[in-house]
Structure 1
């Protein structure tokens, strides 16, 4: 059975742990995978071997506290959103946990309604964080360098050229036509473009088109042929060839790989 989300509950008190599990299972109705751990060490080892979307952990536990657990998972490749459970006397721990990026905290004894509201909020935050991470991973590092250069350039002819390319990626475009529109000699424009952008015109245009295609592959269900056309390629065969030369795999395999990871 495929589950939408995985939630790990960590508490050394069996009654609290099982109470939360039952509440979340009743709310989830089988949609999500609800797991439990009886100690911070058990939870750390579990998270080291498999991903979770949400970690709900008690702050005070013997040997390995909830705070130690949150610190331990900071550098895990797949990091869950975190909710901590605490008593009235634990606000120093709560303050430290918030510094570590904890989404929220639940005050013991746990109120069922508050638990469900907070869990839904935390899962939403985690979803947003994963989307942002996916977008960051998709960014072509060479285009990122261009962006930094452009911010230093200000309003220059090449800045205007980059803005035009951004706005007209799906249209036929040649360097000569773009140079003419800026009233520049095409040879001079070519040298100036490479000097200020760090890439020649054709490579920059190719990378921008593939970058836009990657975004469409991940964020939409558009067919490959439509994506190819929308980023300025007349045939999907040529688009696939260009995409593969830059990314090392076909557009359809890229889409599948990113969707599998998320």
Structure 2
């Protein structure tokens, strides 16, 4: 799945190129648009693209300067320069900045398709030869597939340790590791689904990771989730582990339930459960539990027969002042003020 960025100050060309890329048949994870080089550079820093299509003549920052800065920022981003005939000699100056292809205006479908095929080939070559051989990647995937399907947890953990140790020795950049782990995950999910017994969904999301350790943590958590998904399905329990955890939290909001207790309840390692929960809900365990407590408190405050001091205990706060402080932090109001806004004295 490719991440693509288009930089061009002419809306018609920008939109036209976007449409041709969408019609190319290439697998696209994201396709973003930038109005000039400065805008493109900001977007690249927010989310790294695999391919960059850029015009030459643009305001604020032209294509030549954009190519220069991108080559310094991340030389593995593949660049395609889009230029008019009169700008072609100027565009050729970008060759020292890693430009892989040129497209002359007016743009046509054949030129775009040809450029994308070339970029896809370069990307695949970069993925396999520069980091790890295809055979090595498939060997790791085969071990992981067998370990998960056979529910051999120690074998899965051993594979992760060995693969991480070997890949660490290559001193990969973050984007290289993200691409490789993404390829591993996609291939593993494909093989498990090809067994045509259970359905497995892709759980690995790495587009916003900021460190190598974070990438590995998410990758390991995704494998653990695949393992636990299969274990639960084999027992005939089809409920998602995170959904099961949410139900347990909901039923025990009045209690001081710990992350470790919930993880043990659903049969997951606590550290893995913590990562899986954050990945699924975009909140930590404590943030989610607190938010649900406050939401329940708001419902109880809307019922006049409940005393505020009783409500704090109902939502797990034995210390009433702590409940009041937390409620105001989340809602901007004290519990009494919240109730007064509802017209309840």
Q: Would you say the 8 A contact 1:54–1:123 is kept in 2?
A: no
| Cα 1:72–1:248 shift into 2, 3 Å | closer
| Cα 1:23–1:222 shift into 2, 3 Å | same
Task: Name the residue aligned to 1:152.
Answer: none
Q: What's the secondary structure of 2:82's corresponding residue?
A: strand
Task: Name the residue aligned to 1:17.
Answer: 14
CA distance in 1, matches of 2:111, 2:37: 24
**TM norm structure 1:** 0.53
CA distance in 1, matches of 2:125, 2:55: 24
| Cα 1:91–1:223 shift into 2, 3 Å | same
Task: Name the residue aligned to 1:218.
Answer: 137
| Cα 1:113–1:248 shift into 2, 3 Å | closer
Q: Would you say the 8 A contact 2:128–2:134 is kept in 1?
A: no
After superposition, the CA RMSD in angstroms is: 3.8
Gaps of 5+ in 2: 147-153, 169-176, 185-345
**TM norm structure 2:** 0.42
CA distance in 2, matches of 1:215, 1:35: 30
Find 1:65's aligned residue among 31, 37, 62: 62
| Cα 1:121–1:67 shift into 2, 3 Å | same
Q: Would you say the 8 A contact 1:52–1:79 is kept in 2?
A: no
CA distance in 1, matches of 2:95, 2:86: 16
| Cα 1:133–1:60 shift into 2, 3 Å | same
After superposition, what is the alpha-carbon deviation per residue over 1:4-26, rounded to whole angstroms, capped at 9, x for unaligned?
11111110000100111112223
After superposition, what is the alpha-carbon deviation per residue over 1:139-165, rounded to whole angstroms, capped at 9, x for unaligned?
xxxxxxxxxxxxxxxxxxxxxxxxxxx
Q: Would you say the 8 A contact 1:40–1:61 is kept in 2?
A: yes
Task: Name the residue aligned to 1:82.
Answer: 79
- Deviation, 1:107, is 0.6
After superposition, what is the alpha-carbon deviation per residue over 1:201-255, rounded to whole angstroms, capped at 9, x for unaligned?
xxxxxxxxxxxxx9755244322699xxxxxxxx969x76994895599xxxxx9
Count of aligned pairs between the two proteins: 169
CA distance in 1, matches of 2:87, 2:81: 11
| Cα 1:62–1:217 shift into 2, 3 Å | same
Q: Would you say the 8 A contact 1:51–1:79 is kept in 2?
A: no
CA distance in 1, matches of 2:10, 2:164: 55
Task: Name the residue aligned to 2:94.
Answer: 97
CA distance in 2, matches of 1:256, 1:56: 22
Matching of residues 136-175 of structure 1 within 5 Å: none
Gaps of 5+ in 1: 136-213, 227-234, 250-254
